[in-house]
Amino acid sequence: MERKMRLSDFVKIVPPTPRNIKIGVCKYWEATIGRACGTGETEKEALGDLQRTIKHAFDGDYNPSVIVFRGLLGIAWRASDYWYWHVESLDKISDMTKIAGYCGCDSEDEALQCMRYDLAQTAWDGTEMQSPIILDPADQEQFGRWACFQKCYQELKDAGMGDSDIRNHLFQEGL
């Protein structure tokens, strides 16, 4: 009788670390194939999680999103596991051969939100307290606090105060 190949024929299964081992402890079963990984309370759950991870890699859209803002290019793209983003000056684009992404995000929307905030900080003009590139109200509020800190820091630096004194002063002021 001929046996059909199954996903589990190619998977490396690692059981949880025995309880008597205290260093490098892994509490869950782990199933891996290549760079794809699944975990679970049981071997079966780990294989199921791995299968979901592999299926997820084939679902959805892999088209990148691009935003140009004040001479900067923001690009967000999906890899098989997460969405990543990168911000670069437009005049450096011709020199780029490989783009490294910043923190992985679970969704395109989350990556775009993070990228917009990064664009706002990188392109900050030194005066604005809000950025037109930021769409999320909570991010806009956080940007305002960041800009206030930056402006106060620069004013104190221009007045001749040192870095540690500036930080102590701003900390005491609650900035």
User: What residues contact residue 169 under an 8 Å CB cut-off, 6+ apart?
Assistant: 156, 161
Tens of pLDDT, residue by residue, the chain (175 residues): 677 877 667 889 888 888 787 787 788 999 999 888 899 999 999 999 998 888 888 887 889 999 999 999 999 999 887 899 999 888 877 655 566 777 788 889 999 999 999 999 999 999 999 999 999 999 999 999 999 999 999 999 999 999 999 988 888 887 7
pLDDT of residue 171: 85
pLDDT of residue 119: 96
76 — phi, psi (to 5°)? -120, 135
User: What is the DSSP-derived secondary structure letter of residue 106?
Assistant: S
Which of 94, 91, 110, 92 is closest to 102 using CA atoms? 110
Q: Is the pTM of this model over 0.75?
A: no
pLDDT of residue 81: 77
Structural Rg of the chain based on CA atoms: 24
pLDDT of residue 104: 83
